[in-house]
Structure 1
């Protein structure tokens, strides 16, 4: 989002006078807090985590009966998955454009499942109908306990946002062992995506690039897809509630050790 120089200057002034330590999501938010004047050695990461074990264990159970679950849920055999709000910053209009390009160039295209709801739902569905994308599945809003089903049966997760401080749904997808396609404007992309190892990043304003990556992923062998999924699970294993607690403890300890300086604030920052 747009930042104004005078607001940033006010933040710098406040941080220099009041803040001893920062607790942030990852690389992008660390860089932002450093730009505001907080030294890197006083910043701890792993602020944005999910219960990896919950998703991994639920997904394993569901995949044992994948064929039955596919039929019960009415989901495609293979599909790209999005989970989140249907709002402008999520960039779903361009995801639909990319999917149209992908389908036009593919002999056996995967499906697309969009889980969620929001102010753009009707508009997105109208565009999909106009574009002839009648095979898109719209399950609507789903509670946390319902999400593992969609992660378990998906082939790849996509987050196309033009503005996203982090993107916890990427954590969920990786804990579920999925390859990922993540916009370079998502804060998590620098920390969670290893291009070619567990997925790819893409420019969110370039539907053609995303379409090409969708083609590349859907053409991979099952063994290669499994390899990317395992890499996702290994990477996200470093982003757990335990890491969150450990780093928060270290940040607080650093603050209490500097109370004689007259500053006792701990802040978190988004990119």
Structure 2
């Protein structure tokens, strides 16, 4: 059986996932080829390119950004590649993007089975009932969904999928990489850490506010805060920290490579993630694999699955600054024994959410669609699928 993995690009976490899937498929005599639409313009452009491997990896437009490509150009090149490979199954990104939209169209044209991976919950984006109806018609051409975890069941059902057509494990990292002991070449003392793009939706300014409140309660005994990344909110956060006389306790760093981050997580007291909206939040996986407790907002998709309040961290609403400050104080006041227990709990919980989980979930979805007939689509669904090419909006 021939399988194609298709998306706008496969950066940062994806190469390890796809290598694991390739190994699993090869062991049973199946093959995997990877197709990226564009080679430039990923929001994770700061991350290193994929490592070389025995994977058959194709980039249709290596010198282009996705937003520089029109739908007709993408379709022409992609359909030529798919015609050459002639896959039995395509695993593609969300139907909002050209990868998913065109995969569904190819499935209608050739009978190839289509699995869509997605980590967006339906309620995360407000749409009109008319748009939802159109999306559901496009989903009629999808044979199975590959989501992060059972928390997405209601989303899958709302798009018309039966429980047996929903699979899990898309949002994982290489746990072994993040768990490999690493030496920290910094002198930050005891510290909390936050990692990511400093944009409004990530809500780092609220973490700064909570940190100042925590600092007011603990004084000179306060743990430091290391904030890694950059973005339009950076100067606002720096200014707030300075105004509240915490500059000696907060360290600002630019984006770090994946080689540098394991040590940061492993030596941190806790990761703090307070996003207003986050489809999943893979920094949580990374930190937990390194044995780091996590303070995460309930608006992060991963929180309900990975963060168990009081066991391996704390949870709170993204707008509850006082609750976050209380979490910092509560953790600060724990005995060393209880802090170690939190670290061990993070490792134990995340152990079940590694690359094997991705490969098992993907293979289960592949086996399901391969053994079942394609889902039926109405004439109106076929017409919508024929005209929808997807679109890419840069973050």
Q: TM-score, normalised by structure 1?
A: 0.88
| Equivalent residues of 1:27, 1:190 under 8 A apart | no
CA distance in 1, matches of 2:240, 2:182: 36
Partner of 2:179: 56
Alignment map for 1:100-119 (pairs within 5 Å)? 100-107=212-219, 108-119=221-232
Partner of 2:165: 42
CA distance in 2, matches of 1:208, 1:50: 31
Residues 182-233 of structure 1 deviation map (CA, whole Å, 9 limit, x = unaligned): 1000000110011111111101101000000110011111111110111111
1:12 CA displacement: 1.8
Alignment map for 1:81-160 (pairs within 5 Å)? 81-107=193-219, 108-134=221-247, 135-160=249-274
What is the aligned counterpart of 1:233 among 340, 343, 347? 347
| Equivalent residues of 1:80, 1:113 under 8 A apart | yes
| Equivalent residues of 1:86, 1:116 under 8 A apart | yes
CA distance in 1, matches of 2:146, 2:217: 45
1:261 CA displacement: 4.5
Q: Which has the higher helix share?
A: 1
Partner of 1:245: 359
Partner of 2:135: 11
RCO higher in 1 or 2 (8 Å CA, sep ≥ 6)?
Answer: 1
Alignment partner of 1:27 is 2:150: yes
CA distance in 2, matches of 1:254, 1:194: 32
Q: Which runs of 5+ in 1 are unaligned?
A: 63-68, 264-271
User: Tell me, what secondary structure is at the counterpart of 1:145?
Assistant: coil
What is the aligned counterpart of 1:74 among 168, 187, 196? 187
> Would you identify which runs of 4 or more consecutive aligned residues in structure 1 move more than 4 Å?
260-263
1:179 CA displacement: 1.0
Cα separation, partners in 2 of 1:2 and 1:243, compared to 1, 3 Å: closer
Q: CA RMSD in A?
A: 1.7
1:34 CA displacement: 1.9
Q: How many residues align?
A: 252
| Equivalent residues of 1:30, 1:45 under 8 A apart | no
CA distance in 2, matches of 1:258, 1:200: 43
1:148 CA displacement: 1.2
CA distance in 1, matches of 2:196, 2:153: 25
| Equivalent residues of 2:288, 2:347 under 8 A apart | yes
Partner of 1:66: none
Q: Which has the larger radius of gyration?
A: 2
What is the aligned counterpart of 2:369 among 242, 255, 264? 255
| Equivalent residues of 1:165, 1:186 under 8 A apart | yes
Q: Which runs of 5+ in 2 are unaligned?
A: 1-123, 378-395
User: Tell me, what secondary structure is at the counterpart of 1:166?
Assistant: coil
